[in-house]
């Protein structure tokens, strides 16, 4: 890692001063370009997404058996889209800006198995690994009915192998529950900020939970080291995994299908804006990648981060990516937003996606709590704090007329826009915990 000279950095990038001052800010990305220009930098394409989709389809019958709650969607883990008009009216007033288009909420918060966006990437990575092992051992062919994986024979087979992951909570939940169900020995290395109830739930599923007094970066490093000592152990690398990234990416084509069914148009005259909470970057990066493939230049993706953990904004803005952490600037990386307390962004995601993202913004923890309270009050939808990070996005974008005009979007076009806030978690938060969240909202 480079030594960071903070005064030189702030001289070159004045916005870094505002990051250090923990000021909520919005940054429109001047590196944003067309899909045609940006896509080759990703190193993955439509064929990879199609391959991912096909693998998830092979596993769907297995998931129906192993997790009966997935039967209503035939073993495909996909979330609903909600309209939130009362929230829109309340926030028009709160922010003093009128969002004229349509406001929607993507409820990954209520995905089955783990109740967060991690049910996309985390579960997909475990399934991919299991499939590879079973095929290599001659026990499985891709034409088979994958329900056979839900047998003692297969559980014993997978029992010879282990899986490890470092997590602030939700990734551990997805990977832990999925791996344990297949029969793997699974260890989740959890950072200090991980919630007690998540650790408890994992242990109930037979997952080994190792706790650290330090943050996510340390938990990941320790987990990696331990896994390296065991040749039968597969370490899931949240920071650099292409597989995880692809697991998220199928959200794009599925959203397109949902929009078709809802009669929602997306084209140059009807732009789509999507607001994604960002931690290390794999989740929002993979979803944004899938969205760009599905909707091309008519979708505009924005990443949202806590003021105390703006790692992706910092990495992309300075071009230093994973060569800089928020701690290098003296920012403490302390936030109540599970999954977003990440000090150093994924270098893979930043470099792959920096030309395909329209912007970034930050918000305070209190703002997330207030929005959490407002959404519960106005729409009776309960989320965890991090899942609210994207919510101010439509107002941040609407407030910047100059940026819209530079994109060729006038008021008429903006009035036809769809704004989709990606709600990334909260569906499994215990009631007592939720009451505490609600009590923290000052509304
Ligand atoms: C993990 C997570 C995110 C962000 O995903 P990354 O891949 O870490 O960027 C957002 N919201 C919630 C609730 C999460 O658990």
Give how many domains the chain has, as a whole number.
2
Phi, psi (deg, nearest 5) at residue 236: -90, 115
Ligand 1 neighbour 424 (Cβ under 6 A): yes
- The verdict on the CB of residue 339 being under 6 Å from ligand 1 is yes
Residues 6+ apart with CB under 8 A from 82: 104, 105, 107, 379, 381
Looking at the fold, whether 274 and 214 belong to one and the same domain comes out as no
- Is residue 134 domain-resident? yes
Q: Report d(CA 87, CA 83) in Å as an integer.
A: 9
What pLDDT does residue 222 have? 85
* Ligand 1 center to 284 CA (angstroms): 7
Question: What is the structure's pLDDT at 332?
Answer: 96
Q: Which domain holds residue 287?
A: 6-114+245-440
Cβ neighbourhood burial of 137 (10 Å; 0-12, 13-18, 19+): exposed
Query: Is 312:283 a contact under the CB 8 Å cutoff?
Result: no
- Whichever domain contains 156, its CATH number is 3.40.50.1100
352 and 394 share one domain: yes
Residue 404, classified by CB atoms within 10 Å of its CB into exposed (0-12), middle (13-18) or buried (19+), is buried
Q: Is 1 part of any domain?
A: no
What is the position in ligand 1's atom list of the atom closest to the CA of 238?
7
Please give the biggest Cα pair distance in the chain.
63
Owner of token pair 């940006």 = 38
Q: Are residues 255 and 339 in the same domain?
A: yes
- Give the pairing type, strands 272-277 and 418-423: parallel
Q: In 10 A of CB 290, how many CB atoms?
A: 28
CA distance 58 to 67: 15
From 138, 226, 144, select the one nearest 185 (Cα to Cα): 226
Measure the CA–CA gap between 217 and 225, rounded to whole angstroms: 12
Alpha-carbon distance of 368 to 362, in angstroms, equals 11
How many other CB atoms are found less than 10 A from the CB of residue 434? 16
Is the domain of 161 the same as that of 249? no
Weakly modelled stretches of the chain, pLDDT under 70? 1-2
390 lines ligand 1 (CB under 6 A): no
CB atoms within 10 A of CB 358: 18
Closest CA to 410 of 101, 103, 105: 101
**C-alpha to C-alpha distance for 342 and 312, rounded to whole angstroms:** 9
* Per-residue pLDDT tens over the stretch 251-301: 999 999 999 999 999 999 999 999 999 999 999 999 999 999 999 999 999
User: Does one domain contain both 271 and 375?
Assistant: yes
Residues 125 and 110 in one domain: no
Rounded Cα distance, 419 and 272, in Å: 6
What does the pLDDT read at residue 249?
A: 98
Residue nearest to atom 14 of ligand 1 (CA): 339
pLDDT at 2: 63
Is 185's C-beta closer than 6 angstroms to any atom of ligand 1? Answer: no
Is the C-beta atom of 115 inside 6 A of ligand 1? Answer: no
Structure confidence at residue 296 (pLDDT): 98
Same domain, residue pair 63 and 178: no
399 and 265 co-located in one domain: yes
Q: Report the candidate in 152, 377, 378, 372 with the shortest Cα–Cα distance to residue 277.
A: 372
Ligand 1 contact via 183 beta carbon (within 6 Å): no
DSSP per-residue string spanning 188-241 = EEE-TTS-HHHHHHHHHTT-EEEE-SS-HHHHHHHHHHHHHT-TTEEEE-TTT-
Q: Are residues 258 and 224 in the same domain?
A: no
- Give me ligand 1 centre to Cα 137, in Å: 34
The answer to whether position 65 is within a domain reads: yes
Q: What is the pLDDT of residue 1?
A: 57
State whether 11 and 109 are in the same domain: yes
What is the arrangement of strands in the sheet containing 162-167, beginning at the earlier edge strand?
A: 208-211, 185-190, 162-167, 233-236
Q: Give the Å distances, CA to CA, from 352 to 242, 289, 409.
A: 11, 9, 26
> Which two three-digit tokens encode residue 316?
């992309």
As to burial, measured by CB atoms within 10 angstroms (0-12 exposed, 13-18 middle, 19+ buried), residue 210 is: middle
> Token digits for 380?
């009776």
Please give the torsion angle defined by the CA atoms of residues 265, 268, 270 and 274, in that order, rounded to the nearest 10 degrees.
90
State which ligand 1 atom lies nearest to the alpha carbon of 109.
13
């Amino acid at each position: 890692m480079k030594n960071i000279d903070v005064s030189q950095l702030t001289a070159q990038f004045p916005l870094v001063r505002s990051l250090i001052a923990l000021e909520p800010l919005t940054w429109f990305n001047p590196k944003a370009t067309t899909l045609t220009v940006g896509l080759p930098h990703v190193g993955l394409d439509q064929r990879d997404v199609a391959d991912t989709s096909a693998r998830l389809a092979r596993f769907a019958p297995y998931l129906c058996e192993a997790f009966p709650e997935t039967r209503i969607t035939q073993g495909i883990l996909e979330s609903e889209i909600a309209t939130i008009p009362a929230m829109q009216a309340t926030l028009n007033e709160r922010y003093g800006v009128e969002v004229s288009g349509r406001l929607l909420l993507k409820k990954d918060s209520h995905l089955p198995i783990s109740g967060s966006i991690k049910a996309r990437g985390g579960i997909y990575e475990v399934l991919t690994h299991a499939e590879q092992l079973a095929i290599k051992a001659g026990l499985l062919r891709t034409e088979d009915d994958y329900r056979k994986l839900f047998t003692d024979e297969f559980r014993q087979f997978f029992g010879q192998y282990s899986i490890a992951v470092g997590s602030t909570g939700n990734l551990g939940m997805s990977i832990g529950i999925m791996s344990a169900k297949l029969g793997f020995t699974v260890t989740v290395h959890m950072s200090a900020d991980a919630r007690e109830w998540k650790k408890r739930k994992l242990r109930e599923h037979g997952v080994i939970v190792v706790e650290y007094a330090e943050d996510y970066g340390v938990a990941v490093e320790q987990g990696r080291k331990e896994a390296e000592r065991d040749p039968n152990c597969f370490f899931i690398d949240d920071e650099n995994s292409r597989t995880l990234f692809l697991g998220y990416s199928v959200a794009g084509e599925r959203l397109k299908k949902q929009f078709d069914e809802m009669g929602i148009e997306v084209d140059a005259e009807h732009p789509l804006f999507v607001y994604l909470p960002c931690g290390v970057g794999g989740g929002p990066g993979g979803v944004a990648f899938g969205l760009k493939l599905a909707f091309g230049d008519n979708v505009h993706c924005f990443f949202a981060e806590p003021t105390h953990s703006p790692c992706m904004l910092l990495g992309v803005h300075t071009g230093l990516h994973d060569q800089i952490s928020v701690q290098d600037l003296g920012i403490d990386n302390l936030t109540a937003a599970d999954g977003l307390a990440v000090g150093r962004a994924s270098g893979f995601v930043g470099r792959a996606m920096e030309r395909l993202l329209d912007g970034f913004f930050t918000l305070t923890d209190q703002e997330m709590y207030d929005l959490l309270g407002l959404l519960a009050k106005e729409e009776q939808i309960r989320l965890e704090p991090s899942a609210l990070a994207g919510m101010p996005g439509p107002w941040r974008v609407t407030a910047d007329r100059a940026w819209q005009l530079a994109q060729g979007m006038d008021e008429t076009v903006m009035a036809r826009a769809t704004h989709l806030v990606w709600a990334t978690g909260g569906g499994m938060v215990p009631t007592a915990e939720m009451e505490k969240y609600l009590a923290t909202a000052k509304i």
